[in-house]
Amino acid sequence: MNKPNVQDIVDTAVNIVDLLLKSNRIQRLNDVLSRLDVERLPSEAILAFLVTSRCAAQDLPARQQLITRFETALRAQNRSDADILIRIAKESKS
């Protein structure tokens, strides 16, 4: 089975957020954000969820929790790009 490429995953993340926002399913989006596995998803996908959901940040408590979980995971992985990714995630706050 072929592993999906990162761009396909990012596109799917953007489409999910867009669909849920357009259909005013904020609670469902909050549930999706709360269940994202920051250890398994590519950082690009996490950032896609965060940036795309920014417009509804005040209604998505799980979004801030996702930012915190993302930062913790990046630091634990000792990634050389952790600081820049964390900065992008935090700048995606409302």
Q: How far apart are CA 84 and CA 31, in angstroms?
A: 27
Give the pLDDT confidence score for residue 72 in this predicted structure. 94
Whether the pLDDT of residue 87 is over 60: the answer is: yes
pLDDT in tens, 7-20: 999 999 999 999 99
Whether the pLDDT of residue 3 is over 90: the answer is: no
Q: How far apart are CA 58 and CA 94, in angstroms?
A: 7
Whether the pLDDT of residue 94 is over 60: the answer is: no
